[in-house]
Structure 1
Amino acid sequence: MIADYQNAVRNAVDLLQQAAIPLPTSNADWADMNIAEQGELAGGVRYFKHGYGCAVHLPAGPVSFDFGEQGEIDGFNLSRLAGFAGDRLAQYGFDDEQALKLSFDNEVAAGSLLYSGYILYYLASASRTNQKSDFAT
């Protein structure tokens, strides 16, 4: 589920860039960025800028994400994952949101998920991604 979520975020960020919306160097940079709060991207895809992030209504389904402290795009939290999965939780092996929460909490306790100190978690086994060149591959 996390990999699917991160791929959806990368697709959303790619569409933002194609629309000449610059990537932020930090979450505060994004919050202060003077761009339209909502609009349409390539292919009629709608976006909504919120706080430290953005919700993008991709053809495969909506994804909402926050930029990390240094503009990272691969952070997540429980509510973002649950919202992304929506009614597809069972496809990811979870009976309900409580089962997802239990699994998430267990992974945090095991050290597989690292808390950023504010809002986001990151996979312990992965390097963080934030700039164009990082997710172009």
Structure 2
Amino acid sequence: MKFLSTLAISLCLFAGPAAQAQDAASEAPAKAAALQWLALSDAGNYAATWEQAGKSLKDQVSRSKWQSVMQNERAPLGGLKARQFKRATFMKQVTGLPDGEYCELEFNATFERPAALVEAVGMQKDSDGVWRVIGYFAKPR
């Protein structure tokens, strides 16, 4: 499946060293930010997903390209039926990005078409302390 392959910024980058386990309290802010961002995507508000994304994503993908690809690749999935948190992986180093605080969150999601996907959301904690999306990818379970 080609789903958002041109925008899969985080997944290959997050395959680096220094993954760390975190407790639920540390995980909560990143998870909340990811779910808020995913809700915008679920609603088809792709412009807002770009606006709320981190600088790393915005530097690699223009707003118009992001909207176009999301419309062509995400919209055909139809409505979200269910989303369940699977896991979070935290790290300090990500290939191609400066050292910092990063997190990859995975969710099992069920849409109208195709039914079952794993969504991965790459997050970066910005200098203002806010977690922002820097990558998104979905693949069949």
TM-score by length of 1: 0.31
Q: Which has more radius of gyration?
A: 1
Larger helix share, 1 or 2:
1
Larger strand share, 1 or 2:
2
